[in-house]
Amino acid sequence: MDIDLIFKIAAVGILISVLNQVLVRAGREEQAMLVTLTGLVVVLLMVIQQIDLLFDTVKDIFDL
């Protein structure tokens, strides 16, 4: 696993939390929730790609 992935996830988290706070303060709670869900989906897609890479590596190691 690369340390860049952790930094990318942290950057997305910081960006989403700032956007969430701005939207909540502006009275747009629905948009804030959508932004938060979008950030969650983006991070999950990044993690799923790494899990897929892990499975491919395990297959190659054990010749499955």
- Counting the structural domains of the chain, the total is 1
Tell me the C-alpha to C-alpha distance, in Å, between residue 8 and each of 13, 24, 31, 59: 9, 24, 23, 27
What pLDDT sits at residue 63?
85
The band of 25, judged by pLDDT with boundaries at 50, 70 and 90, is very high
How large a percentage of the chain has pLDDT more than 70?
Answer: 98
Model pTM above 0.75: yes
What range does the domain containing 43 cover? 3-62
| E-state strands within 1-64 | none
Mean pLDDT of 12-21: 96
**Per-residue pLDDT for 61 more than 90?**
yes
CB 20 within 8 A of CB 32: yes
